Amino acid sequence: MESSPSSDQNDVSASETPTSSVSSPYRRTYSDISGLSHRFDVQSFYNRPSNTNAVVHEEDLSEDAVEPKDNVDGDGEDHDRDSDIDSAEDAELEMMRERFAKLLLGEDMSGSGKGVCTAVTVSNSITNLYATVFGQSLRLQPLSTEKKDLWKREMNCFMSICDYIVEVIPRSLGNNVEITETKLRSDILMNLPALRKLDNMLMDILDGFTENEFWYVERGSSSMNSNNGGRDSGSFRKVVVQRKDEKWWLPVPCVPAEGLSENERKNLRHKRDCANQIHKAALAINDSTLNDMDIPDSYLTTLPKSGKASVGDVIYKQLCTAEKFYPDQLLDILKISSEHEALELADKVEASLVTWRRKTGGLAHSKSSWDMMKDMGGDAGNDKNHILAARARSLLFCLKQRFPELSQTSLDICKIQYNRDVGKAVLESYSRVLEGLAYNVVSWIDDVLYVDRTVRNRDD
């Protein structure tokens, strides 16, 4: 993934690891011990009864109040249990203090004020949490109970921040009396519940891979019969390694010699369709959130004076001369063969898009996602810069559809790096990690179906 522009305050460096099939431009610095686990009631912690402050009444010292001698062991067990609970609560409170301190310090433990802002800290934390929970998940199988609980607990804490991000709305009571009310900000009210739903749907899809007709073997292992119930799998290695988009760290999917049953194939296709729809929904939310973020001045200063200088003569000619613009045909003409070329083109098109929007005055305020969709649906007026911006936007959208695993563009990374809105940081990072997980699920199912299709074609 292309690294973001350097910044003294917000240093968000690219991190690529072969243990995860989705790369991220953020640091993977995540503590082994979670500090955002169960919500802890501090008030009840300090108000709980203390043995040292207990008041002893004389009637409590009577013979009737004395416990039988044979219950001494039980009292000891209760005391040990209470001590364990107190120790766990103390450890939980200490971890919350540590995480709260890191949030205030902006991940700069020296306290010198060189840390990143709160929005970037939250975004990094969600990215690191995703890497911790899903970074080693490379196959179609349910998450372990420990990781699933960790993901839910920590994400609930991150999303609880949005409970306090509100907007003030005036309301008239009549007789010239007007009051103000607060409600959740509109973007959070609309997108956060949708992201929660997408998250639960992805977990349900992964939980459904319990009794499968396919299995996995580690690439390069000497035995191809591990975890396959004794079924022959000697021919599957040759089938899989012929794929051009193979990644060496992924395990090899295997199927029975006769292929998958019809019910299994139907079930896989259904789950693939669901995961693909989740991917599209998360991508739409992420794109909308990024569009609403302000463009940093540091990015604007790097733009050329004309959009033509960004995209080049060939693309510019197609954008401005055709009566009706078809982005798919332009991409076919360009013959993009790799993700690196696609990302390079996306950066150029996005730079020209911003340049043309500046000339039309469209950068005074961030455009809403609805305005973006209207621009894509037409030529947005007769002004030449409006037309070029709308067509560049549709070309960029089509490019991302053709390359769904495309890394974030330089503008997107710069927006995240300089973003100060905590609510947008939560929505962007949450939608981004869900988008990556959904794409992985689709890819893993495609791998299994590819092997199954190849085996059945050989038999025919």
Q: Which long-range contacts (CB under 8 A, 24 or more apart) does 98-107 make?
A: 98/35, 99/35, 99/36, 107/29
pLDDT at residue 26, rounded to an integer: 36
**pLDDT beyond 90 at 366:** no
Q: What is the maximum alpha-carbon separation in the chain?
A: 103
Residues above pLDDT 70, as percent of the chain: 69
> pLDDT (tens digit, 9 = 90+) per residue, 41-74?
434 433 444 443 444 444 444 444 444 445 445 5
Structure tokens at 2: 């292309």
Q: Per-residue pLDDT for 111 more than 80? A: no
pLDDT score of 286: 94
**421 alpha carbon, distance to own chain's centre:** 17
Judge whether residue 20 has pLDDT over 70.
no
Predicted pLDDT at 58: 43
Paired with 181 in beta bridges are 169
Instruction: Kindly list the structural domains of the chain, giving each domain's residue range(s) and its CATH number in brackets, ordered by start.
Output: 88-185 (1.20.58.2010), 215-219+241-363+378-457 (1.20.58.1310)
23 alpha-carbon distance from chain centroid:
11
Q: What is the pLDDT of residue 105?
A: 78
Band of residue 114 on the pLDDT scale cut at 50, 70, 90: confident
pLDDT at position 422 over 90: yes
pLDDT in tens, 233-259: 444 433 443 444 556 778 889 999 888
Q: How would you class 280 by CB atoms within 10 Å of its CB: exposed for 0-12, middle for 13-18, buried for 19 or more?
A: middle
Contact between 414 and 5 under an 8 Å Cβ cutoff? The reply is yes
State both tokens at 84: 């364990």
The amino acid that residue 80 corresponds to is D
The mean-pLDDT minimum among 159-163, 239-243, 278-282, 446-450 falls in 239-243
Q: Is the pLDDT confidence value at 413 over 90?
A: yes
Q: What is the pTM of this model?
A: 0.72
Q: Which residue has the tokens 């085996």?
A: 455
The confidence score (pLDDT) of residue 358 equals 87
Specify the higher pLDDT residue, 263 or 11: 263
Say what the pLDDT of residue 51 is.
41
- CB-based contacts of 397, cutoff 8 Å, min separation 6: 327, 376
What is the predicted pLDDT for the residue at 314? 86
Task: Give pLDDT, residue 460.
Answer: 60
